Structure 1
């Protein structure tokens, strides 16, 4: 744990300083820069990338996913009430003890992706003696550049996820088609760890490549990649959780239903992560696309009804203020 804690020191210090002192944002950034520079000077670039990737995946995906699994096992009756598919969504109730195999395969696939990422770096830097796939430097990415790179990464991930999923895993002549179906499409209902459940080769195509390739194509700064990986990890955690209520439900709720339809319907469609290309290509399942999912989620949460109630409350307050103003003017 010491390497992970030493890696987390810059981030933790950046978050802790505003709470413990009245330093300005500029001073916080300077302190973060100094801590980050010290980390790079005391560890190799490969070690920083390795420990950072492991720490992000552990904190933002694996640890909370195992917590959700423990919650399912400890209080299944309560967990079932929070699941979209009720008892079917309980991990420990699916197909006897098959959930253990799913858990092991998912964790193994996640580890495989990290090992392969490091193998790419070793090949580039120590065998071919060229630039690393990611930039590991003391220079920090500017906020605007960071936001722009994240936008490019998510768009590239959507394109790659759609194309690879549809043509490499669902094409009739693909050698991975049956492997993908025998693993991923054998799931009864998703739970958080199923985000990384698939045949190892199919997993690399479906999950690892769409996440890692954008960072390599645009040669992100390693901190940009860590931010992107953290957001992707949280997305995977909640979208596959099976819970009926999700944070930012209008986005994650629709994504969760699209993934569920793809897994459980037994037919081809809903290949992309966000449904953008499925909408354009007409490959959404059940005549549902991104717009339909947002509308469904809004109806589910009764946003229109809540909006009308809120409007009536505002109108009542306005009337009261007018009455008070009139009485005050008369007096």
Structure 2
């Protein structure tokens, strides 16, 4: 529980339950909780417990709930899935048990590998992988590291996914990925996020984020924040639902569904930008998503309105200035008389 409260996204989600508190009290409570956790637990415990909690809350629990919905109400679920009935999970107990076993195994492997690297840093370098201190990172530092980590992750994810897992140079890896992740043609469901052979999974779901993170070595809260964003994004992207809120996120879900339905012949990135640049995008283009999002929020009208308001304020200011100058001149004339 301490780790959950120490991750910024959890504090945000729990914020509505603490509406009677002021913002400063919330920040004080958060800082006290985080400081207690850091001072009472070794860095490796904070690190591994944090990522495990994030995966459980933002992947495992939502995936189990959507899996239960898809299996219990298939006639309703197929109506809100890309690909309809072909996107539904298997309903027989044997297939579901096999799927869950693979997912839980991969969850343990991913956590164990990260724990092993974290332990190696502490053992050999005498310091944790990430800055685990009571001092909180500054907003600008969080934003800068967030931008770097997400950009690096997207670049590595696209390159690894396209040229290694779906390329011809690494046949053993690409074959394992094809046999596990693409065993079923059709749009995916969230539980399939970790339903891959462990080795391709490490290349695809672990290296793109963790490698830039250990090079940059940000504050662990920043890493938790980025890790939460990526885990939530991947879970939603794999859901296959047509009702995912947000035009941009809906476009990501659609492109992911096309990637799996086409057995990995397109849409290798997450955001779709590198796919658009390299001509590997299929389905709704990322530029269409951005355009629709802008139209949805009437950005052009708002921009024009702001310009008009700004121009009006400038003109009003100039008018006041002129009126003041006239008043001063009139006053001087009276004095001279």
Question: What TM-score does the superposition give when structure 2 sets the normalisation length?
Answer: 0.78
Matching of residues 54-69 of structure 1 within 5 Å = 54-69=52-67
Gaps of 5+ in 1: 308-331
Change (3 A) 1:137 1:290: same
Question: Aligned partners of 2:181 and 2:79: how far apart in 1?
Answer: 25
The corresponding residue for 1:136 is 132
* Cα deviation, residue 144, structure 1: 2.3
Gaps of 5+ in 2: 299-337
Matching of residues 106-121 of structure 1 within 5 Å = 106-121=103-118
The corresponding residue for 2:260 is 263
> Aligned pair 1:237/2:241, yes or no?
no
Task: Indicate conservation of the 8 Å contact 2:2/2:34, yes or no.
Answer: no
State which of 187, 206, 209 in structure 1 corresponds to 2:207. Answer: 209
Question: Aligned partners of 1:134 and 1:85: how far apart in 2?
Answer: 42
Matching of residues 6-85 of structure 1 within 5 Å = 6-10=2-6, 19-20=17-18, 22-85=20-83
Question: Aligned partners of 1:162 and 1:14: how far apart in 2?
Answer: 31
Question: Aligned partners of 1:201 and 1:237: how far apart in 2?
Answer: 20
Change (3 A) 1:84 1:96: farther
> Aligned pair 1:200/2:195, yes or no?
no
> Aligned pair 1:125/2:117, yes or no?
no
Count of matched residue pairs? 293
Deviations for 1:31-90, whole angstroms, at most 9, x for unmatched residues?
A: 321221111111111111111111111111111111111112222222222222222222
* Cα deviation, residue 188, structure 1: 2.9
User: The residue matched to 1:140 in structure 2 has which SS?
Assistant: coil
Deviations for 1:153-201, whole angstroms, at most 9, x for unmatched residues?
A: 2111110101111222122120311111111121233000111221110
* Cα deviation, residue 230, structure 1: 1.2
Change (3 A) 1:13 1:210: closer
The corresponding residue for 1:329 is none
> Aligned pair 1:225/2:220, yes or no?
no
> Aligned pair 1:156/2:152, yes or no?
yes
* Cα deviation, residue 10, structure 1: 4.2
User: The residue matched to 1:131 in structure 2 has which SS?
Assistant: coil
Change (3 A) 1:77 1:146: same
Question: Aligned partners of 2:195 and 2:290: how far apart in 1?
Answer: 27
The corresponding residue for 2:302 is none
Question: Aligned partners of 1:60 and 1:145: how far apart in 2?
Answer: 25
Task: Indicate conservation of the 8 Å contact 2:242/2:254, yes or no.
Answer: no
Instruction: Look at both structures and tell me which one has the larger radius of gyration over its CA atoms.
Output: 2
Question: Aligned partners of 1:23 and 1:264: how far apart in 2?
Answer: 48
* Cα deviation, residue 260, structure 1: 1.9
Question: Aligned partners of 1:293 and 1:17: how far apart in 2?
Answer: 30
Question: What TM-score does the superposition give when structure 1 sets the normalisation length?
Answer: 0.80
Change (3 A) 1:44 1:243: same
Question: Aligned partners of 2:47 and 2:248: how far apart in 1?
Answer: 30
* Cα deviation, residue 216, structure 1: 1.4
Question: Aligned partners of 1:14 and 1:277: how far apart in 2?
Answer: 31
Question: Aligned partners of 1:99 and 1:236: how far apart in 2?
Answer: 21
Question: Aligned partners of 1:184 and 1:236: how far apart in 2?
Answer: 14
RMSD between aligned residues: 2.7
Change (3 A) 1:100 1:14: closer
Task: Indicate conservation of the 8 Å contact 2:3/2:37, yes or no.
Answer: yes
